[in-house]
A and B are shown apart, each in its own frame.
Chain A
């Protein structure tokens, strides 16, 4: 009975929000690599597209995705002006390793930390990898999970958004 009620409410809400949903843009403070605070609302305000990619050092598909984008990132930046914010959700166990991974892989992404998962919660990210693309403050694409080749579709979405 409870379960039925749950399913009913869920589908009802999902249906309604599918039509009417919009993004919650609360003030969330992240930290940059030096421990300085960064307001998320400032990050997504940009006139150029912004990829917000949630990752963790222990998440193999996250690393695969960021490696794959890194191979073509320079080209993407030239053609679309995109910036990728890699939001690290590692906790105390592995957060110190994130800097090592970024440095050793030579990533030019903007690395930010969300150790208390404030942003992850506000954006309702369930699992990593998970990415959102913002353009002029609005979400234009969302995707969770990674399969090789997903990055090509992401690039297409960004290109078509800025053409509009």
Chain B
């Protein structure tokens, strides 16, 4: 494997040089591009306050080198990954080592594109199929196989895929195949978009198959997934609807073990959404039921490994440190408490949001304008009777106890050319028992955040915030936090931050961090020192459990 990667990289280098010569000859044919990213940590030997003891390798790093070469419509490339001398804490341990991954050969034109090797794909919004990379979460479930896309006109597009999903340096046991069609009726029937609006619809089918060798009779080895989506847009109105279902699948618990039952369950998702906008304002809503729809290609898979589809949390995404302590992890599949007692079958709920800009020179807007956002989301578990999966009755469109509720208001105001402020208020209800499988089912929090951005002399700026969180029914109690950043645009940035869990009834800890970053063009380097809080790191509704740690962090990235 190593030899292959070295061969490939040196091959690419030769191409690169010939490319350069071409350029000198004004014949720009072969194109090379790529990116490098390295995330490294040097852990402290121990941190008594956190109860942290360094792992066997105190220095660890996750590194990625990606290269693409293209010639006319053809392209090829790959990614070399090295987790050396070990994987960063909290990432899948089977990544340890190094190897050439995500290699492919592709042809792209306006009408036809085809890929052999690794590829990323999603059908519609990803409800029945998505393969993607998120390095922060340690996710790379690229499909390995073939993909073909045919777009004969602007109105019609077809896709077909076949493959297995990537799992570190190997592939899934399960095989995946599927097809997707998207039609734009307005274009197909040459209607006037302005008068009639734009109407599109899509249909997907995905199948997955994995051998079963256990003793449960008639265990479904193949599961079929279908989805139908449609969208209508006219002037300031957008409406969307999507329905997906899958055929019966066996029960698997959160540890990736098959539950011993000959009851098999199907699943479904119904999602409705819309946006209405006016001058300087917009309102949007989403309603969704998900029943037993968190799918993996392999039964043994758990957490973020080998996900087949994507059913994200439809809640507000907060970006301040204290607003990310209680993060909703959507309950989209059957989950079990120890002893295989049924704990969740799905969720039902929705989100509404209203955004408004009070323009410059209006009463509330003042001289420079003001922005207001109000958001509410509420999700309940889907109702079921009984915790024994053999006899449990599972319902559709019936809400049980609240899993999560989030009401938040954000006000951004520009006072003059130098000063901007943001204020946020967040009120949350977090059902830890439903979301994490233990603890209180009724944690209530209120969070207040004030942030100021001050432009100083040319290119110099300060960004600072203070935050407070009040919590009820959680031993961790109240928190206070502050961040201070000094930026010298466009290259330098320095920051100091602290979160203090002063209300914790067991142990109060300061989670401090300080560091600096340097950016030039696409090159970025960041170094910091501090403590990492244990908890869920969530990006786009998929979460990774990050263990507590302390030490130095170095991040480097560059693309060319």
**A interface vs B, CB < 8 Å?**
2-3, 5-6, 9-10, 12-14, 16-29, 33-37, 39, 57-60, 64, 91-97, 99-101, 103-106, 115-117, 121-127, 130, 142-145, 147-150, 152-153
A26 to B283, CA, bound (A): 37
CB distance from B432 to the nearest CB of A (A): 22
Most buried by B among A29, A39, A147: A147
Size of B's binding interface in residues, CB under 8 A: 103
> B31 CB to closest chain A CB, in angstroms?
5
Contacts of A115 in B (CB 8 A): 122, 125
Contact B522 A144 (CB under 8 A): yes
B277 in contact with A103 (CB, 8 Å): yes
Instruction: Please measure, in the bound complex, the distance between the C-alpha atom of A34 and the C-alpha atom of B489, giving whole angstroms.
Output: 36
| Nearest CB in chain A: distance from B251 CB, A | 26
Q: For residue B120, which residues in chain A have a CB less than 8 angstroms away from its CB?
A: 116-117, 121
Please tell me if the beta carbons of B517 and A14 are within 8 angstroms of each other in the complex: no
Q: Which one of A14, A18, A19, A24 lies within 8 Å of B33 (CB-CB)?
A: A24
B356 to chain A: closest residue by CB: A104
Query: Which residue of B84, B283, B312, B371 is within 8 Å of A92 (Cβ)?
Result: B312
Binary CB contact string for chain B from 264 to 279 against chain A (1 if under 8 A, 0 otherwise): 0000000001010111
**Interface contact A143-B560, CB-CB below 8 Å:** no
Q: Is the CB of B184 within 8 A of A9?
A: no
Q: Tell me, in angstroms, the Cα distance from A97 to B541 when the chains sit together.
A: 15
Report A143 CB to chain B, min CB distance, Å. Answer: 6
Residue in contact with B233 in the complex, picked from A23, A35, A125, CB distance below 8 Å: A35
B487 touches A116 (CB 8 A): no
The 6 closest A-B pairs by CB, nearest first: A147-B487, A20-B20, A149-B489, A93-B312, A92-B125, A124-B559
Q: Does B427 contact A (CB under 8 A)?
A: no
Q: CA–CA, A17 to B34, complex, Å?
A: 9
Distance (Å) between the CB of A135 and the closest chain B CB? 16
Q: A6-B80, A27-B108 are in contact. Are A35 and B184 (CB under 8 A)?
A: yes
- Minimum CB distance partner of A4 in chain B: B84
Assuming A22-B28, A29-B151, A103-B278, what are 15 further A-B pairs, CB within 8 angstroms?
A3-B61, A13-B12, A16-B13, A17-B34, A96-B240, A96-B284, A100-B275, A106-B279, A123-B33, A142-B521, A144-B522, A145-B493, A148-B461, A148-B487, A149-B458
B65 in contact with A97 (CB, 8 Å) = no
A16 to B2: give the CA distance in the assembly, Å. Answer: 22
Chain B residues near A58 (CB, 8 Å)?
Answer: 317, 319, 540
Could you tell me the distance between the alpha carbons of A35 and B459 in the complex, rounded to whole angstroms?
Answer: 38
Q: How far is the CB of B19 from chain A (nearest CB, A)?
A: 6
- Structural contact, B275 and A116, CB atoms closer than 8 A: no
- Bound form: Cα–Cα A148–B277 in Å: 29
On whether the beta carbons of A150 and B9 are closer than 8 Å, the reply is: no
